[in-house]
Structure 1
């Protein structure tokens, strides 16, 4: 119920929100090799990119605690993570929202039954490295840890619509193509969701929440 009400608010406010605020065009992110970084998880354990040397594909998905679009995708992300063998594909959630405390992120993971590792990034290290701008926003890294896909999970939910089924499951299609030894036919898509507030923006504009920047 909470997610549905928030999603309705998201759709209502969409016309008042900015369209996009990316620092780097997504097409320029493709092929970028990602350096190692280390972040704390909600369990208290630190997790590094280098902890997965044998994993063929890493899928990072940025989420926030209050973004209705992102929360609507959590069951689907849990299902996707179960669909692929963990020795080949690993899904990891990153919360880089300045307005979400560590306790709130832990509570959110419990309440929404997130079955994936959840990393906390208040220093926004991963945002700087990967170029993330929205929640939800997905990144697929290959074994060399180069970015092969960046964008939305699918086209099921947007600012002004919610479909029963997606027309195209962009993240999964890209992952399937990579597993089959091919490059994704669609490498970038435009994610629709809440903007990740950067530290510089917060200092300039005050203590705004990430969910208030929905478009």
Structure 2
């Protein structure tokens, strides 16, 4: 019975035409749609990050590992900088410093992608799948990367649960994950 809402949503998504999906801008200030760029991917992972968030920056090694795993399994991983004052130069500097250069990146100045995913903090992850090629994306996970952070400045040396990794493993195994939501700990998105 636990999967009933997800299956019902998947059926509706398969039968209903895809709605207009939010887009952002590239680091070159060009319109950019992660949905179009990743149309052939089995899933799309958005990780909301910020150059000035220490928790987000501490997750850089984990994000690099996740990105490599995703690339090996036809899963698109995007870094999303949701900030109406986002500065491409500061983002590039941050990505160089934390070895995130080269990862697909979108700037979400109007918070359209963050609103669509329901993201509130950095770092926070949202995973979408398409039950059918022309269907609307189905949110299958939103929340923390893992449970290493229990609160601001309160963290474990290593995580004991990795819900994002578990969701990705389910997708890699060829299954539709049950919708999972966890509370992400981090810096709040600077919505106006």
- Name the TM-score, length of structure 2 as normaliser: 0.78
Kept in 1, the 8 Å contact 2:140–2:179? The answer is no
Equivalent in 91, 100, 103 of residue 105 of structure 1: 91
Q: Distance in 1 between matches of 2:42 and 2:138?
A: 11
Q: Give the CA RMSD over aligned residues.
A: 2.5
Show structure 1 runs of 5+ residues with no match: 1-26, 200-215
Q: How does 1:87-102 map to 2 (within 5 A)?
A: 88-102=74-88
Q: Do structure 1's residue 190 and structure 2's residue 183 form an aligned pair?
A: yes
Preserved CA contact (<8 Å) 2:139 2:179:
no
Q: Which position in structure 1 is the counterpart of 2:32?
A: 47
Please say if 1:63 is aligned against 2:36. Answer: no
Gaps of 5+ in 2: 14-18, 132-136
1:191-214: CA deviation from partner (whole Å, max 9, x where unpaired): 000111212xxxxxxxxxxxxxxx
Residues 146 and 171 of structure 1: CA distance in aligned 2, closer, same or farther (over 3 Å): same
Of the structure 1 ranges 103-112 and 164-173, higher mean CA displacement relative to structure 2 is found in 103-112
Check 1:85–1:111 CA distance in 2 against 1; reply closer, same or farther (3 A cut): closer
Per-residue deviation, 1:160:
4.2
Counterpart residue number, 1:132? 119
The alpha-carbon deviation at position 40 of structure 1 amounts to 1.8
**Is the CA contact 1:174–1:186 (under 8 Å) kept in the aligned structure 2?**
no
* 1:36 maps to 2:21: yes
| Counterparts of 1:116 and 1:92, CA distance in 2 | 7
Residues 123 and 186 of structure 1: CA distance in aligned 2, closer, same or farther (over 3 Å): closer
Contact 1:55 1:143 in 2 (8 A): no
Residue deviations 1:19-73, cap 9 Å, x none? xxxxxxxx99xx5967423322225554311222210011000011111111100
1:7-29 alpha-carbon deviations (Å, 9 max, x no partner) = xxxxxxxxxxxxxxxxxxxx99x
Q: Equivalent residue for 1:141?
A: 128
More strand per residue: 2
- Paired with 2:178 and 2:128, the residues of 1 have a C-alpha distance of 15
- 3-state SS of paired residue (1:149): strand
* Match in the other structure for 1:9: none
Shift of residue 184 of structure 1? 3.4
The DSSP-based 3-state class of the residue aligned with 1:84 is helix
Aligned residues: 171
Determine if contact 1:61/1:93 at 8 Å carries over to the other structure: yes
